[in-house]
Structure 1
Amino acid sequence: MPLSRVYLSPGLFGFERVGSYDYFGHVEQGIRRRFADAGREVEVHVVDVHPTASIRRRAARLMAKIEGTLGDGGPIHLVGHSTGGLDARLVASPTFNVRGYRETPPWHPRIRSVTAMNTPHYGTPLASFFATVSGQRLLYALSALTVIALKLGAPPLAISASLVAAIGSLDHALGVELRVIDALTDRVVRVLDNASSNDLSAYLRLLRDDQGAIIQLSPESMDLFQAGVEDNPEVFYQCSVSYAPSPGIVHFARSLLSPWQNMSTPIFATLHRVTSLENGMYPCAPPQGAADEILLGKYGHVPPAAASDGVVPVRSQLWGKVAWAGMGDHLDVVGHFGGGKKDPKHVDWLSSGSGFDLRRFDKMLDSIVGGMLEADPA
């Protein structure tokens, strides 16, 4: 039986490895275990893509990773979280146009499936905000907090509290406040050991040097992506979709139980508020109201119009077969949820109140890997 190869492409706030922490570690382990349980051999590769570079540049990194590890044969499965799902769609498309590749590579027919996890297929209003000066500072600060929270369990409270307060004033931010955010972010980075701090500093420099994907993920830009990137009829497409409850009084009250939750809840509320903004001309949803019928079948109800995982509107996440739909925020689905004392391997980054847990994570991976195996039966 030929060896299967799975390629994982991270998205916004994503990375291959920073300071010995693996962004896709939980997903990678889960995929390996499920292939083994099915009696199938698999290699899982995490792609080292630039977190905010253009989709074409990110796709080129994905293709280079495939070409360096593809072996002599066997099926290829592409999995992308957030922007990574768009990388996968572009690479699998028969109309792909990736820098450095003039012709369709000989391994292209080996692609069996594309899995898009919480991917903004129709864009996200948050990208439009991240393209502003204030939004760029927010992205920079949140990326630093994300890495440190996942590595340490929670950032140092004193410094983080000041940074969160500065983020909360972004609606009125001027030059002085923006410089304060940069300085506080740098202080947060320095709490890591030297090796991890250097890794994170290099990662943050990438965010500043190239933000091509930020512009491309706006609803207006994704309208053009949809027109140019066709699905491959020989490839199975599936997605995972989720949304978190809109932050409210109960959510804020529960966050008081933990100092870090108390600080991170306002950050999630800010992200959720921006992501909920509607664009009447370029809606973040499939055309002609098709999304509501699909979501009704999965959730048993139609999610609110503003429903999102805090980064991507839930309707924008729909593409291909819905492998799994449930309550969860943007990073819950890649294993970054609160595991508590019983499951310390899983660390949350923001308090969204989604209630996502190991049971949901396992059920989601069961469905995703099941789709891969169905696309390439033994």
Structure 2
Amino acid sequence: MSKETPRPYSMPGAGIFVNNLGEPILLSGLQLDAVAAEAAQKGSSVSVWTRLSLTSDEAIFHRIARSLADHIEFRAREASNSVNLACADTTLLVIRPDNSGELWLDAAAVSINIVAKRSIEAGTLVFERDIADVTGMSFPMVQIGKADRVVCLFREGWRFALFFDFNPERKFSIVAMERDLGTLYRRLRYRKMYDAIANAAVFGHLVQAGWFPFAEIIGTEFEQLSLHCESDFDLAEVEAELVAKFDTKRLEKMFARWMAKPHFAGKERLLRSALQRYLADDPIPVLKIVLTEIEGILNDAHRKLYGTRAKQKKLLAFAVRSAEKKHGHPDTLMFPAAFGRYLAEYTFANFDPVQGGGTAGSRHAVGHGAAESDSYTQTRALQALLTLDQLAFFT
């Protein structure tokens, strides 16, 4: 999929009619209740999985997927249907309590639930550049009951994901399934971002240079930065290209996102001034304003929720908790824990005012007037704006 190819998305209450792409294959005799979690000899006890989600990056995936596919394909042949699950992009099997089932091979409508970077009208295209996060994946036109069981196998790029819930308690949770499918989709689609965060050397290089997979630049823009860090290339050229992409139109979209938040709106004049100076290629006032206002904005959000202000360490922990709670999972594309580390090690990095030597990326160095003058660059100004923008998604 190119970066301009629209992805389907869900908008509850939008009133858009959606239909499946085809009809399911009807099967019977689907005796799927568990998958062995370990090897065992005849007559011995064995641990089993009744619910699991995993990707093809895990070795056990291939054995489980092949075993499930063999059984499903066998039942399909019994029903006079020759199918090959390996050729399907999305396989959904819904098993009823009587062991009959509906097999949907690239035939069920799929909805991807996203967090959008901008306002979206029903019926308009959504591009990857509009997506800040993916929170769920569902099959809105397939009936799934509380006593049913589900197997879902899907492809994203050159990787696969598998989810099954054999529902031993007969209390199937649609919400939990959609959340777990969204997690799988997100991990496959944005694998490069997850790899960059997981690689200590690459992430350390990114943080040291002041970069993070900010919501505004996820996708190819961040991938270029990550690749340069992984390859130990000079970042100057790719940074200059990225800075040039933040024109008036793009910055105004970010500003509108900020002003939708009450704890940002009170800083409208200051933040408007920062954007104007950025567009004028004047990074010094941008950094002076933004880096000194971030803590105040976080404190306003904290006070709105808890009625009190907090010190810096608690504020950073508050930002991480807010993101996890708001987006429903600690490993969404917001990467709250990793962002907490970024804030601690870069934006609010420890600084000794006596020894000096700080850069304009550090709020403390800027606040003490101790940052080297040549460190006030347009690149660091953009990083500060993107840090502020990230907090708009968090709080």
**Does 1 or 2 have the higher relative contact order (CA < 8 Å, sep 6+)?**
1
TM-score class normalised by the smaller sequence: under 0.3
When Rg is computed on C-alpha atoms for both structures, the one with the higher figure is: 2
Taking structure 1 as the reference length, what is the TM-score of the superposition?
Answer: 0.24
